[in-house]
Amino acid sequence: MSAEASAILEALDPDQREIAEALRGPVSVLAGAGTGKTRAITHRIAYGVRSGVYDPERVLAVTFTRKAAGELQGRLRDLGVEGVRANTFHGAALAQLGHFWPQFVGGDAPKLIPGKVATISHAVEALGLRFGAETLRDLAAEIEWRKVSMISIDEYAHRIDERPKLVGVDAEKMVAIQQGYQHVLEERRQIDFEDVLVLLAGMLEVEPRASLQVRERYRFFTVDEFQDVSPLQHHLLSLWLGARDDVCVVGDASQTIYSFAGAASKYLLGFGLEYPNAREFRLERNYRSVEPVVHSANRLMRDRPGALHLSPMRTEVAPQPTFEWFATEQDEARAVAQSIATALKAGTPASEIAVLYRTNAQSARIEESLTNEGIPSRVHGAQRFFDRADVRRAILLIRAQAKAGDSRPLFQVVSDMLREVGWSTKPPQGAAEREKWEALNSILAMADDQSPTTSIVEFSEELLARQRAQHEPKFEAVTLSAVHAAKGLEWKFVHVVGMSEGIFPISHAVAEHEIEEERRLAYVAFTRARDELLVSGYQSAARVSRRPSRFVSEAGILR
């Protein structure tokens, strides 16, 4: 073993090391929250490359978001490994479809639409119907579910009674809308994100030369968040593999929170049945959270199918998770804002605090209360950092200075460019202006963190790489996020609000499998906290009297 390969293994704990050394054949990693799964799989890939088992150009690492793929790529780069491809399922499939379409169909591939709602709206209007924005989004979700579940429209029509009902959309209309939507796409020669997977899978099935090219290009596969794969994604992975079995899958059944979108943990939990010679490993040492948070998470998921038992590695004295009960949502929001103000005064950075909630509609009260306290906040997922107009303009100006060969100190160049888009040395008072200032200031903070020898050209290239990977910088604002969007993130202090029956678990979760999905969502929320977990709920909402969420007592969180 080379010194470089040996050094990669030395950075791992015994369980992670076992995974890194299992380089061939099917491997399943059941990895609990905060157990270092990304560390384990990136070191496994790096060890495979350094030991000569893997050709980096033949490794494909797949995950579910561009940000996660960017993080995988960045960590591999930090380990000195170049050439490995890290991508989302859709990103990898889109690249392959664009490559194969001219060869096997001719011409350019159909144009990918950025979202479904506008096209659905046209299909709905053509049927003489009219729906609000929320119903259109629900229709988009239903179309997505059908496609990732690999169900044709005809089959869907026979199974529609099994699906949740949308207000104002009966079975006949639903089928007609799905048919109309597909017709509009075909008429315009367009495809949606699910069609990318569908078309590529079809091409690999019927064109042996296409499947041969893929299998020659990629030999070793790693799939992160495997509990979230849909039947369509699982089918595509099988086509990529062919008769081979060099695949490592990583996931946590307790974090399956996208069943409504077609995700199925059965592929993770049933991996050993699909590959009888598979080796299964477990990561249960939690490095993220203090002991009381880990114990609450374990209690919440105790005896659930596939649940892991986390062992806390942080054993310092820490506060127990707390639960507060308020009369109204407004009372809760005010108390949360005051609690955050106290934490900020004690020296906790705003970027290390998050408020998590079950539905996006809950953010308004919290945001208002934080504003009243003069606390900057940002809604995670509302607009991506690099999609902000002010950030895009700042990057363009910085890149222009790089091309001009500006030789002044980096900090001076960047601060001058940021002033042109509205940054100042003093933060403004208004919430919207403050958010813009914080975003621009985070770019300046990145420049300030560079080494003294970093040039404007090098910094410009780093910004461009971050923009492509959606690797957002940290800026000083409290994060507000729906729990679904918070998966994969962590903060020092986490407030989970609205823990009331009918809110979390949500009112339409009635069947046992729906309640279990809500439980897993609560587990994800709780395990985002590193140092302190503060849970709250309220009694009165829209003249309905509620009681505390069942998940609070089940997790052993006391009032």
Angstrom distances, CA of residue 12 to CA of 37, 177, 271, 363, 396:
11, 52, 25, 39, 40
Report yes or no: 454 and 410 within 8 Å, Cβ to Cβ.
yes
Entry field: residues in the chain = 559
| Nearest C-alpha neighbor of 138 from the set 261, 15, 318, 1 | 261
Q: What is the DSSP string of 30-85?
A: EE-TTS-HHHHHHHHHHHHHHTTS--GGGEEEEESSHHHHHHHHHHHHHTT--S-E
Query: What one-letter code names the amino acid at 360?
Result: N
Locate 312 and state its tokens: 């806390």
Which residues, at least 6 apart from 103, have a Cβ–Cβ distance to it below 8 Å? 209, 210
70 assigned binding-site residue: no
H or E segment to which residue 287 belongs: strand 285-290
Chain position carrying tokens 């659930």? 304
502 assigned binding-site residue: no
Quote the strand ranges of 487-554, DSSP E.
491-496, 529-541, 544-545
Judging by DSSP bridges, how do beta strands 279-283 and 529-541 pair with one another? unpaired
Tell me the sheet residues that pair with 544.
541
Tell me the sheet residues that pair with 283.
31
Sign of the C-alpha dihedral computed for residues 113, 116, 121 and 124 taken in this order: positive
H or E segment to which residue 327 belongs: strand 322-328
Angstrom distances, CA of residue 273 to CA of 219, 270, 283, 540:
22, 5, 21, 49
d(CA 305, CA 301) in angstroms, rounded, equals 9
d(CA 513, CA 509) in angstroms, rounded, equals 8
Judging by DSSP bridges, how do beta strands 544-545 and 529-541 pair with one another? antiparallel
d(CA 59, CA 251) in angstroms, rounded, equals 19
111 assigned binding-site residue: no
| Nearest C-alpha neighbor of 46 from the set 16, 66, 25, 14 | 16
Query: What one-letter code names the amino acid at 435?
Result: E
116 assigned binding-site residue: no
33 assigned binding-site residue: yes
83 assigned binding-site residue: no
Chain position carrying tokens 């080796």? 279
Quote the strand ranges of 390-486, DSSP E.
478-482
**Could you say which DSSP state residue 470 is in?**
T
d(CA 298, CA 300) in angstroms, rounded, equals 5
3-state helix, strand, coil in the chain (%, to 5): 55, 15, 30
132 assigned binding-site residue: no
d(CA 340, CA 371) in angstroms, rounded, equals 12
Q: Provide the 3-class DSSP secondary structure of residue 331.
A: helix
Residue set of the binding site for ATP: 31-38
Residue set of the binding site: 31-38
